[in-house]
Structure formats: C-alpha cells, structure tokens
Amino acid sequence: MMSSGVVLAVGFQLSGGDSQTDALIWYSWLGGVIIGTMLGANSVLEEHCKAGPRNVVITGSTRGLGKALAREFLLSGDHVVIASRSPDSVLQTINELEENIQEGLSVAKKKQRETLLQAKVVGTSCDVCKPEDVKKLVNFAVGELGSIDIWINNAGTNKGFRPLVNFSDEDITQIVSTNLVGSLLCTREAMDVMQYQEKGGHVFNMDGAGSGGSSTPLTAVYGSTKCGLRQFQASLMKESRRSKVGVHTASPGMVLTDLLLR
C-alpha cells in the first residue's frame, strides 16, 4: 500500500466557501504525505495547515474515497474521525488505518516521523439520515478531539443503474435520505459547533454526477440529490458570508479523472 508509489487516488478540486477560498485544489498521493497543497490566494485553510494537526470528520469513510481520504489526512499527521452505519466496519477500518500509520512509521525519516506520531484515528457508527445519530457523531468528535476543523460529507449511495421504475421504495428513500437529508443534517450540526469555535471550521459536500443540473439517465434519483446539494451549497454561501464557517464543494471526479487519463 504505502510503497505503491502510484500517483492516483484523491485529487480534489474544491470550490465555494468565502471569497478568499475561491478555487482551491488539493492534491494528495497514495503513499505520499501531502494533503492540503492548495492553490489559491490567502487561503483560510492554510492557517489550519500551519497550526498543526487538523481535526477531521469524514462520513461514509469505511470504504472507497472516504477511506482513502481518511488515510491521506492521517499520513499528514491529522486527527480523523471515521463514521459509517456499521460498527464492525468502523472498527475494522480503524485497525486498518492504524496499520497504515505503523507502516508509515517504519519507513519514515525524522521529520515525517514526528508528523506521523501526531496522527490519531477514532470512529463511531452513525447513520447520517438519523438526527440523533448525527448529534452523537458530533459529540463523539468533540469529546475525542476537542474541536472539529474540517467536516466532510462523503456518505452517499446510488443503488445501481437502472430505469426509475426499477427503483424500489426503499432504494429511493435511502438514496435521498443518505445523500440529501444526511448532508443537510450533518452540515447543520457541524456548522452549529464550528460557529462557536475560535478558529471556525470548514464543511465539504461531495459533488457527483448531476451536480450542475445535467441529466443522469439510469441514476436519476442520485442525480437529483446531487443537484439539490449544489443549490444548498449556493444558498449557504450567501447565508454564511460573514461566518467563520466555510462551506465548500469537493469534486473528486475532475482531478481524479484527469490523473487517470494522463
């Protein structure tokens, strides 16, 4: 894993937030240690980077992109809260990520070692569709880490590709409640904590197919939630102009595709 040396995985184009964070790009490398290399003037996030480990909550982080992101933050010496619906998956992921940190330590040079020794991973189960679960996750994160600097709404599902009539009641309910309701609840709770923190904080919502209003045949329900999230993001940006909390959209697809096609 650590030795793959492959430049891939998680590249991010971030947009939104306040006027200072217009266009940020984060690159991170599997096997590398960089997350938070940002282009963009006067980035507010830079302060967080310089101030040492960041406290990061990532929903839906026991697999895929969420897990890869968690790993990258950890390898940068950050503190990460893992969350997903299954308590077993959470435990398993924590173990796996701790192993990654140990692997990193075993080959790290002095400076990198100091960074890695700061890394900390904890986690709890959370169904983002349930308000009480989201509150519990927030309390867990604050209890374990003291504050939350970055919250990433990564939990999402599309339930496969087929015509609308082939999606069951459960499918539709689950897609909308995870992708849309879950992101709204999490964003609200995260903002509610961050607004009282001295340093504020940053909330990221994941872009996906359909975000810009384009059609997403065979995954129409998913597309509608992603488009809804864009609208939500745009509204929040206006609402929270003078807020200490930045709201952003993370687009994993763009840079990722770019890297893969190169």
Ligand X SMILES: *[C@@H]1O[C@H](CO)[C@@H](O)[C@H](O)[C@H]1NC(C)=O
Q: What residues act catalytically?
A: 222
| The Cα angle at residue 141 between residues 140 and 144, in degrees rounded to 5 | 85
Contact (Cβ atoms closer than 8 angstroms) between residue 175 and residue 219: no
Residues numbered 96 to 135 that lie near ligand X (CB under 6 A) are none
Query: How many chain residues are in contact with ligand X, going by CB under 6 A?
Result: 2
- How many alpha carbons lie under 13 Å from residue 73 in its C-beta half-sphere? 26
Task: Closer to ligand X by CB, 219 or 251: give it.
Answer: 219
| By the rule CB under 6 A, 162 interacts with ligand X | yes
DSSP structural state of residue 216: -
CA-to-CA distance for 137 and 152, rounded, in angstroms? Answer: 13
- Member of 42, 118, 139, 166 binding ligand X (CB under 6 A): 166
Q: How far is the CB of 165 from ligand X (least distance, A)?
A: 7
Residue nearest to ligand X (CB): 166
Q: Which helix (H) or strand (E) holds 260?
A: helix 252-261
Q: How far is the CB of 113 from ligand X (least distance, A)?
A: 52
Task: Closer to ligand X by CB, 41 or 165: give it.
Answer: 165
- Which pair of structure tokens corresponds to residue 96? 């796996």
Task: Closer to ligand X by CB, 63 or 162: give it.
Answer: 162
Tell me if residue 46 falls in helix, strand or coil: helix
CA-to-CA distance for 252 and 225, rounded, in angstroms? Answer: 17
Contact (Cβ atoms closer than 8 angstroms) between residue 119 and residue 79: yes
Q: How far is the CB of 88 from ligand X (least distance, A)?
A: 30
Q: How far is the CB of 168 from ligand X (least distance, A)?
A: 10
Q: How far is the CB of 163 from ligand X (least distance, A)?
A: 6
Q: Which helix (H) or strand (E) holds 203?
A: strand 201-206
Task: Closer to ligand X by CB, 135 or 159: give it.
Answer: 159
What are the residues binding ligand X (CB under 6 A)? Answer: 162, 166
